[in-house]
Structure 1
């Protein structure tokens, strides 16, 4: 069985913080669901009127739903029935079982199970970082179920090792001595200083530090990556919209080259980095709602 947290005590600290974020930032009518899937218990948070169009939200590799969408969810829930999924293997409330292995786990199949249990026919998708990859990957494999998808600071993957090394380099040297102060520096280095994120919302930084200290990141290695196939992606191009932060945009040249070459629709958001939806929540909500509403793909 995959161990998601390094210790039970660390898990308890993370979940206390998780629940505090739900209480302080999420709509009062939100609900927490536990869905029994082939690969384990998948925890989802729903918000908004179930009669509204469904929007599935996917978080990043070392995040969870509570922190990922805390600054966006109140507005999004006015327009959509939001389903924020805690990724299996991530530091949230989902609990993998013995089928969650690199040999047997199928990410698309898992998302289909979630959608089936919630009786979603066609739905919208949005994700950040690794969640953007998951949203993109699901869209190219199950385009008939997806209306439109917004990918923030991620999407198609062409050189996974190079991307991982670049991210690790951004964390040096602080990650070598993982004190609270150094881990907070790591979080700050991924975001644009112009956004003032951690000054306006220090609780975001505190929760991210908790996750970095207590999450067993190897639990996410079970998720296999499907490399970019231009023909496959271009076939669903009109369903996809990519949002990138302008901070350290030069490090994203390979990704923007793919977007340009394939004719994909994308926008660069000023004063935003990898934590794009935290750093510019109002702008991201406008972009997301505008695209999903105005670009209805068949």
Structure 2
């Protein structure tokens, strides 16, 4: 079985911090485990069950607690928000024996989790790798999707290039994994004018803790399917892409693909890769208007 954290002590530290962040959301949240063929998937839920369902997907190297910490209170006023901890990510999901490269099927796993909530149609929003998962799910199961918001990602034309670009952003700091160097990585991904991590130090500390304790190999079973021009054309009207004005991850080539496919997208001013953290009000206003 794949080990998600580098040690049991690391896992305990992360999960304790995880619960502290959930407690700071400012809204009542339920934590629920969903059994799938690939392992136990953890979900954080907020909002009234009478509201329309909105499934939320975080990126690589983080989890639901920290990803939606600044957004869940507002989003849950209008939607029944279900934030999923990705299998293999540094959250509370626990991979099983079938979670391994060549056997794990990402979209089937996600469909199992979504179907466990008994909704016929749902909306999705994801950040970075979560945006890819949301986009991929919508192309495979268009009949089940109302709207999809892809934040700082969604379309991957070259998985290898995408991985190398992300890794390149972490050098040279990743070679010397001190708390200070890890925090520099977090700031490099942000807008030059952003002070979000100074204003929300517990979130910054949690991200640093994840970088130092997560076994990155635990994400290897997730295989990225390269984008083809035909993908998404049938659901174009259901899609919205959000890009940070100062993003160093989604570059011009990404918006060129969106332009070529005539996909709708918006740039969020004064934001880097962490759009929903750096500009939470603009993010929430944009996503809620689109989802209506």
Q: Normalising by structure 2, report the TM-score.
A: 0.98
Matches within 5 A, 1:239-250: 239-248=238-247
Kindly indicate whether the alpha-carbon contact (under 8 Å) linking 2:243 and 2:250 is maintained by their aligned counterparts in 1.
no
Q: Does 1:184 align with 2:179?
A: no
Tell me which residue corresponds to 1:238: 237
In 2, Cα distance between equivalents of 1:193 and 1:15: 31
Task: For residue 235 of structure 1, report the CA deviation from its aligned partner.
Answer: 1.6
| 1:1-298 to 2 correspondences below 5 Å | 1-28=1-28, 30-248=29-247, 252-293=251-292
Q: Post-superposition shift, 1:285?
A: 0.5
How many Å apart are 1:248 and its aligned residue?
4.1
Shift of 1:231: 1.1
The total of aligned residue pairs comes to 292
- Taking only aligned residues, the RMSD between alpha carbons, in angstroms, comes to 1.1
Query: SS at the partner of 2:73?
Result: helix
3-state DSSP of counterpart to 2:203: helix
Note the residue ranges of structure 1 that are not aligned, 5 or more in a row.
294-298
In the TM superposition, what is the alpha-carbon distance from 1:112 to its structure 2 partner?
1.3
Q: Is the 8 A contact 2:159 2:225 kept in 1?
A: no
Cα deviation, residue 165, structure 1: 1.4
Q: Are the counterparts in 2 of residues 115 and 121 from structure 1 also a CA contact under 8 Å?
A: no
SS in 2 for 1:236: helix
Tell me how far apart the structure 1 counterparts of residues 50 and 230 of structure 2 sit (CA, whole Å). Answer: 35
SS of structure 1 residue aligned to 2:65: helix
SS of the equivalent of 2:231 reads helix
Mapped contact 2:47–2:81 kept (Cα < 8 A):
yes
Contact 2:139 2:231 in 1 (8 A): yes
CA separation in 2, counterparts of 1:186 and 1:284? 22
Work out the CA distance in 1 between the residues paired with 2:262 and 2:139: 16
- Segment of structure 1 superposing worse, 41-50 or 244-253: 244-253
Conservation of the 8 A alpha-carbon contact between 2:62 and 2:210: yes
| Matches of 2:160 and 2:38, distance apart in 1 | 26
CA distance in 2, matches of 1:269, 1:120: 31
SS in 2 for 1:49: coil
Task: Give the C-alpha shift of residue 20 in structure 1.
Answer: 0.3
Aligned residue for 1:260, secondary structure, equals helix
What is the deviation of 1:91?
A: 0.2
1: CA distance between counterparts of 2:108 and 2:138? 12
String of CA shifts for 1:95-117, please: whole Å, max 9, x gaps: 01001011111111111111221
In structure 2, runs of 5+ residues without a counterpart are none
Shift in Å, 1:232: 2.2
CA distance in 1, matches of 2:30, 2:165: 37
User: Residues 60 and 128 of structure 1 are in contact (CA less than 8 Å); yes or no, is this contact kept in structure 2?
Assistant: yes
After superposition, the Cα gap between the structure-2 partners of 1:94 and 1:286, relative to the gap in structure 1 and judged at 3 Å, is same
Larger % of helix: which?
1
Quote the offset at 1:193 in angstroms. 2.4
Change (3 A) 1:96 1:267: same
Q: Distance in 2 between matches of 1:39 and 1:284?
A: 32
Which of 12-21 and 167-176 deviates more? 167-176
* Contact 1:54–1:123 (8 Å) recurs in 2: yes
